[in-house]
A and B are shown apart, each in its own frame.
Chain A
Amino acid sequence: MKEKEIRLAHGGGGQLTNELIHQVILPALGGGQDPKRLSDSATVAWPDQPAGGGKVVFTTDSFVVWPLEFPGADIGKLAVCGTLNDLAVSGAHPAAMSMALVLEEGLSIELLARVLASAGKEALQAGVRILTGDTKVVERRGEPGLVINTTGLGYPMPRAKLGFDRLEEGDRVLLSGPLGQHGLAVMIRRKGLSIASTLQSDCANLQPLAAELVSKLGPAVKWMRDPTRGGLAATLAELSDATGRSIEIAQQAMPVDPAALSAAEFLGLDLLSVANEGKLVAVVKAEASAQAVKILRQFPIARQAADIGQIGPVGELPLVEMLTRAGGRRIVQMPYGEELPRIC
């Protein structure tokens, strides 16, 4: 790596995060996964179980967000949903979760209780129990903060057959709703920006959506991901990189939240690179696309679900491109680090 020290951009979910994972973390800890095809969770076969059964899907995630409470959600709900979603997009039902807390001295206990209640409520609604945990307290470093780690154990949805290698030219790319709501809502609240905004984080559990898609459509659902850090741009860039396939999406087809759009325009941000916490990207067989959209739209959080584009052929330099509403084209790239608001 070019850098000698960790920079904040190494946590942005873009190129630098990728380099950190591939050049520092995986060489030391990688267990033989194809480094180009990393997923949100790992599937582990249980050695003494009969073939076909006893597979465990395993994922972990740490949550750092400031402020701890923001419009539409808080760090507690986020920590539960984030891990549920990593299981969901891997085609797994949740079985159990762990939660580890790192508390900074000075953190309000009332606030802690509030965000934990929110986490508990979300887990209860999802029908998953938090069975183990840990608590540490560290010295205050700035704003008294809280880091939550959650680990999720799950088991494969019976009809799930997901994988990078299942993609074919002509498959359709589905998006469950408008982009940018979480990242922008947090940014506006964090910085007390003087934008009168009704924007709410989209933080939500995607388990019901993923489960319904997989149970109704089975192997016609080929790949899923939740476009969190780095946004849809990072998700599609990774998909293209892992499969060697170009991808084309159409701006006209993309669902839009006018509040997110105007906030992004005000701040000069590209909606495609802003984080989401309750959106599903699914690649499905072309013939199943219309039905998949219909299934998704039954859920209130996916009323605006849409077919936004398609998977292209394998190529030497695969590109993700967007057909713009003006009729032009633009490239969609892996963001560098965190997207920054403009100055002028």
Chain B
Amino acid sequence: MKTIPELRQEIDRQVDLLVRAGRQRIQLMEVCGTHTVALARGGLLDLMPKPLRLVSGPGCPVCVTDQSYMDQAVWLAQNRPDVTIATYGDMLRVPGRSGSLEEARAAGAQVQVVYAAHEAVEMARQNTKRQVVFLAVGFETTTPATALAIEQARRLNVTNFSVFTAHKLVLPAMRALLSQPDIQIDGFLCPGHVSVILGYKAYEDLARDFHRPCVVAGFDEEQILAGVAEICRQLATGQPQACSVYSPVSAQGNTVAQKILADVFHPADAPWRALGVIPGSGLELNEAYADFDTRRRIEMPPCESYELPGCRCGEVICGRCLPTDCPLFAKACTPRSPVGPCMVSSEGSCAAYYKYRWRGGKAAKL
């Protein structure tokens, strides 16, 4: 592995070539929230040569989750005294029309934070009188774990466990973004963890159809810089392709995990924040597991999709703007009192900008 100074030199050199070839701005998208955080936490954004800019993509599971889903989850917590909500911690504080899950919990609703789906199954086994509803959000990294938990629940005949799924697939969203004419994305820094499951070949069609580099990178400083350098190199040579600079990622990915996923789920249309319904971008339970689908088990009021007033989270996760372009950033919207999910989630772009880069207005240049 090259050193940080070597990688920075490499990026500078490639960007220089691109500028000389007439490019004024090179905009790359990091698809994954973990990359967003690592870039800010590692102080890497300021080290990029000027024409190169990184924007966040739809890779933070909480941020892409549609408001209608949040409102239904809060409805469950507030209106079904027999239900215990099991959720990843990041979902707790996302504001909805009737408040957040955290507010519901403080008012007496049963909302438990879990780190993994199987904990929710265990919770159901130990509290047989309660309906445990797992809020299943996340991409291909968390989906196999949800699938395994559902299989486990079926094997153990845990009838009081169900999954309220908002799982999403990364590739359809990337494709949807490239189809929007007003968003400039010259290349993708593809997510490391998701790609361990998917394999880097999964990005081949995208790279070919849209002529964009799709480079999978890991999460430490060297790995991220190596990914950026490779994207710039491909742009400079005019030969974009799908590849990985992250050693745990193979061409085919984790076929065992892919099979578990396919056993339990099938792709379905799904609503995304800001992007609307993207065909085939979500996951629904297969008929054999339909008993574990919260939507089939509990009737919930229909909730509509909407954008939070004034909040530009939707534009942030599409790379249309930076967190600092939002008028609410660091004013009405802070991690203490978040307006939108990108300020709530530990993987959200706004939270990362605020936490690691915001200088309290004194040197407001970011």
Contact = CB atoms under 8 A, between A and B. Distances in A.
A328 B41 CA distance: 9
B347 A326 contact: no
Interface string B33-52: 11001001111111100000
Interface string A319-344: 10011111111110100100111111
A343 B61 contact: yes
Contacts of B4: 325-327
B106 A3 contact: yes
Contacts of B221: 324-326
A106 to B, nearest CB: 14
A268 B347 contact: yes
A134 interface: no
B106 A6 contact: yes
A316 interface: yes
A331 B346 contact: no
Interface stretch (B138-146, B240-248, B293-301): B138-146
A140 interface: no
B61 A268 contact: no
Contacts of B33: 342, 344
Nearest to A328: B43
Interface size class of B (residues with CB under 8 A): 35 or more
Contacts of A104: none
Given A5-B107, A325-B4, A336-B335, A342 B346 contact: yes
Contacts of A29: none
B194 interface: yes
Interface string B204-219: 0000000000000001
> Interface centre among A7, A315, A324, A333, by most B CB within 10 Å?
A324
Interface string B327-366: 0000000011100000000110000001111111110000
B47 A326 contact: yes
Contacts of B355: 331, 333
A105 interface: no
A340 B89 contact: yes
Nearest to B41: A330
A5 B142 contact: no
A51 interface: no
Interface string A209-232: 000000000000000000000000
B347 A343 contact: yes
Nearest to A271: B41
A340 B360 contact: no
Interface string B302-338: 0000000000000000000000000000000001110
A2 B139 CA distance: 33
A317 interface: yes
Given A319-B359, A336-B335, A329 B41 contact: no
Interface in A295-326: 315-317, 319, 322-326
Contact of A5 (B41, B47, B106): B106
A327 B46 CA distance: 9
Given A326-B42, A344-B33, 14 more contacts: A7-B105, A7-B106, A9-B102, A317-B359, A323-B43, A326-B47, A326-B221, A331-B357, A331-B359, A333-B355, A339-B346, A343-B61, A344-B142, A344-B191
15 contacts: A2-B337, A323-B43, A324-B43, A325-B42, A326-B47, A328-B47, A329-B43, A330-B43, A339-B346, A340-B346, A343-B137, A343-B138, A344-B34, A344-B59, A344-B61
Interface of B: 4-5, 8, 32-34, 37, 40-47, 59-62, 88-90, 102, 105-107, 113-116, 119, 137-139, 141-142, 191, 193-194, 219-221, 225, 335-337, 346-347, 354-362
What are the nearest 7 A-B pairs in CB distance?
A328-B43, A340-B89, A324-B43, A5-B106, A317-B362, A330-B356, A326-B221
